[in-house]
Amino acid sequence: MNIDFNIPDCEEFQRGYIVFNETEKPGVRQIWFDAVSIVSDGWGDPIRMADGIERIIRGWNRFYANFDFDSLVNCIENKLSTLEIFRNRDIQTLSEADAQEMEVLFNAFLDALQRRPDLRKSPVSVAKALSVLEPNFFPLWDSWIAYAYGCWYFSDTAAPRYILFCKKMKSMAERLTICVPSPDDRPLLKRIDEYNFAKYTAHWL
């Protein structure tokens, strides 16, 4: 794809994820790893997988934590075969053929994770859920990060914008894979999110 956004060089990228890990509270940083572990250990059991998603949303997006847990469990159960398609895939394998399944999956979780009192939907929660389910394929975002990459969204029409964001993160991953430790203790997409958070959300860079 044509690159219409900033891809940092290795020095800036490394500075971003280093400052994230030096500045963000350890307990907050750990939440994502805990959630991924819960999902991985419980893969195939929708209730345990939902526990992992609940962990990250309560920790990282608490204003949208009041969703219906049973709806989330049902969503995972209904979409488990689709989730299996993306399991263990790397974002660098993303292709146009994936777009339809990605959009259906995104919208299913958007409905399942809507806030109960007012039925407000959170595309940020969806990305967090997909990230802990498929940490090498689905990137994290928030509204500031989405805006920075030209992927600003409205909740009910966010899926195509998220897919565009995934394509841009694929381009970043292709350029930045040489900039991270090998082996690393986290996926490249997690390092990219650390950089994005440090630069666009927290303005630590």
pLDDT digits (tens, 9 = 90+) for 152-170: 999 889 999 999 999 999 9
Which are the contacts of 51, defined by CB distance < 8 A and separation ≥ 6?
38, 42
Do the Cβ atoms of 67 and 112 come closer than 8 Å?
yes
Mean pLDDT of 3-29: 95
Model pTM score: 0.96
| Residue 162: predicted pLDDT | 98
Per the structure block, which two tokens stand in for 54?
């609940």
Mean pLDDT of 122-151: 97
| Residue 5: predicted pLDDT | 87
pLDDT digits (tens, 9 = 90+) for 62-100: 999 999 999 999 999 999 999 999 998 999 999 999 999
pLDDT digits (tens, 9 = 90+) for 26-57: 999 999 999 999 999 999 999 999 999 999 99
Distance from CA of residue 52 to its chain's centroid?
13
Quickly count: other Cβ atoms within 10 Å of residue 150's Cβ: 12
Smallest Cα–Cα separation from 106: which of 161, 57, 42? 161
| Residue 140: predicted pLDDT | 98
Residue 4, pLDDT > 90, answer: no
Which are the contacts of 146, defined by CB distance < 8 A and separation ≥ 6?
123, 152, 153, 161, 165
Do the Cβ atoms of 192 and 139 come closer than 8 Å?
yes
Per the structure block, which two tokens stand in for 183?
């082996």
Per the structure block, which two tokens stand in for 148?
């920075």
Neighbour-count burial of 67, counting CB atoms closer than 10 A to its CB (0-12 exposed, 13-18 middle, 19+ buried): buried
CA 124, CA 177: separation in Å to the nearest integer? 25
**What Å distances lie between residue 78 and 8, 91, 114, 122, CA to CA?**
39, 23, 17, 20
Q: Where are the domains of the chain?
A: 10-201
